[in-house]
Structure formats: C-alpha cells, structure tokens
Amino acid sequence: MRVAFAGTPEFAAVALRDLLAAGFELPLVLTQPDRPAGRGLQLQPSAVKQVAVAHGLPLLQPRGLRLDGRWHEDAAAAREALRQAAPDVLVVAAYGLILPQWVLDLPPLGCVNIHASLLPRWRGAAPIHRAIEAGDVETGISIMRMDAGLDTGPVYRMQEMPIAPGDTTASLHDKLAALGGRLLLQTLEDLRAGVADPTAQPAEDATYAAKIDKREAWLDWSLPADVLERRIRAFQPAPGTQTRWGDMPLKVHAATVVPAASAGHRPGTVLAVQPQGIDVACGAGCLRLTRLQKPGGKPLDASIVLQSVMVQAGQVFASGAP
C-alpha cells in the first residue's frame, strides 16, 4: 500500500513515525511552509518536515491547494506531485489546509483523517482544548474518511479515552497522538484487506471546536472558578492564560479551585496571599493561582514569583483583554 501523508505539528509527526515503523511505503509528504518562531522569529520547519527530512522522504510544502486560489501555482505543483506519487490513500493529521475536492478524489481509497475527538462531538480546529474547557470526562480518537464537509465524513474506527482531572492540552495531546497512530495502522490494514466499513456520523449531537482566539487567553474573573481552572488547563501550553496586576501581565500556568468565602467580593479581588498561591475571588467560588510567569521570566511556583511581585490581599486583578 502506497500512503501519502499530510500533516504539520507533533500530533501528526507521531502518526508519520508510526507509519515508517510499520514499513508503509511513503511516496510523498505534504506539510505547511516553514514559519517564524521563537524570540528571533527564525523560520522553523514543522515537526512533520523534520521527520520527513530525517528519513529522506519526498516532501512538498504548498502554501495552498486551491487550483483557483491565490497560491494556484503551488496547488498545481502539488496536484502533479500527488499524481506522480500515485498513493492508494492519503493520510491527513492536523495538516492545517482545507483539502479541495480534487485532493479528496485523487487516491483510490480516499483520504483518511485522524481526529482527536469522538465525532460528531468537537468537529473543527481545537478539539482537545475545547473538550477540557467544557469539562468533558472523556474524549478519544476518530479515524474518518474525509468528505467535503468539516469533519463530517464516515468513521472507520473510534476509541474513547478518559480525561484525567489534571490533564492539560499538552498531556492529553500526547496520549491521543499515541492512540491515533495505533488506530490509523489498524484502519490501513482493514483498507488493505478490503474489509474497512465506515459508519456515518449521527446527524444530532454535533458540536464545533472553534479555533482558539488569543483574546480568550485573558482571564475573565466574572466567570466561575471551575470554568477558569478548566480553561487554564485547556490553554496549556498554548496560547496560555494570563491576567493583569496593574500594568503588568502575569501568565497563569496552573491553578486550583479552593473553598474560600468569595461572596460579596468583586471578581478579581485577591482574598489571600500565601506560599501555596494567590486566592482570587471569581464570579462564583475562589481560584488559587499556583504557578505564574512574569514578563521575560520563566514559569515558577507562586511562592517564588511573590518574592518580587508584591501582590497583597484586597488588590484586584483586571478582567478580560486590555
């Protein structure tokens, strides 16, 4: 079986490494163009590109795939490369470009997508973030045959995974990536044997995992403490969450809901400052900030940050984006 691959971040790189380890023939890899990153904003290759280069795989980085779009020349080159590669199937994982119909129609066995949710729940760009943020007790992996809709295609395989109380997007990402690679290999074996039989998604109960807006990263203290605690975990490691102490932005890397009398206090009011953290009144309940980061600094336990940031009880953290 000839398997072309399209993906960009580490979630996709895990699946690509699994395909290589399983011995699949990979005639072409597609990934996003290099992007500026880090303090120096130097161009950085994607995680998938790094794997492809390390293994000498044919690689293409089109800026777009629409033949009638802005990057039509890139799209035409990608179409020719895919035709020459002649894959039986195209595996897609967190690629970042919408696949036009010509791509969906090109492989005889179609395009197979690894999606990090239990479809039809959390279709869209940020299923891991939104599952944690919503307080879901479980998520999982769906291996889907792609169609023209947004994560609407029939599902070959699905497996649940519990969301632990302390899971962040980072920790859940790693567990789901490993599960996704395993389910993908099973699905490809089914396709090769001619026994794959996808099931249509139910029309009801679909939810959409919208892309994270950076403005969401600013904590709104009028929200309940448990909602904020889930958002802090959901937005780790990116985009992170933050609040403002006067003119200083403080990134919040970890927090816990604590029993404290917050009724009657303005949301954002500091109720107590102690080595364990900073207790802040919320719209309902109290949130203890336990790991913080000053501008230009590193994430540190609150007790260390408090040695230089003189937060006092009665002060108020600002809500929302500046």
Task: Determine the pLDDT at residue 310.
Answer: 85
CA–centroid distance for 25 within its chain: 28
Cα–Cα distance for residue pair 252/225, rounded to 1 Å: 14
* CATH 3.10.25.10 domain position(s) in the chain: 214-305
Residues 183/157, Cβ–Cβ less than 8 Å: yes
Amino acid letter for position 35: R
Pick the CATH number of 3-209 from 3.30.2270.10, 2.40.10.220, 3.40.50.970, 3.40.50.170: 3.40.50.170
Task: Determine the pLDDT at residue 131.
Answer: 98
Task: Determine the pLDDT at residue 279.
Answer: 96
Task: Determine the pLDDT at residue 153.
Answer: 97
Domain 214-305: assigned CATH number: 3.10.25.10
Whose CA is closest to 267, among 235, 224, 306, 313? Answer: 224
Task: Determine the pLDDT at residue 250.
Answer: 95
Each of the 322 residues of the chain gets a pLDDT tens digit; together they read 999 999 999 999 999 999 999 999 999 999 999 998 777 788 999 999 999 999 999 999 999 999 999 999 999 999 999 999 999 999 999 999 999 999 999 999 999 999 999 999 999 999 999 999 999 999 999 999 999 999 999 999 999 999 999 999 999 999 999 999 999 999 999 999 999 999 999 988 899 999 999 899 999 999 999 999 999 999 999 999 999 998 899 999 999 999 877 778 999 999 999 999 999 999 999 999 999 999 989 999 999 998 888 889 999 999 988 8
Strand 111-115 to strand 89-93: parallel, antiparallel, or no bridges (unpaired)? parallel
Residues 299/251, Cβ–Cβ less than 8 Å: yes
* CATH 3.40.50.170 domain position(s) in the chain: 3-209
- The residues, any chain, with a CB within 8 Å of residue 287's CB and separated by 6 or more, are 225, 228, 229, 255, 256, 257, 258, 279, 280
Task: Determine the pLDDT at residue 39.
Answer: 73
Task: Determine the pLDDT at residue 13.
Answer: 98
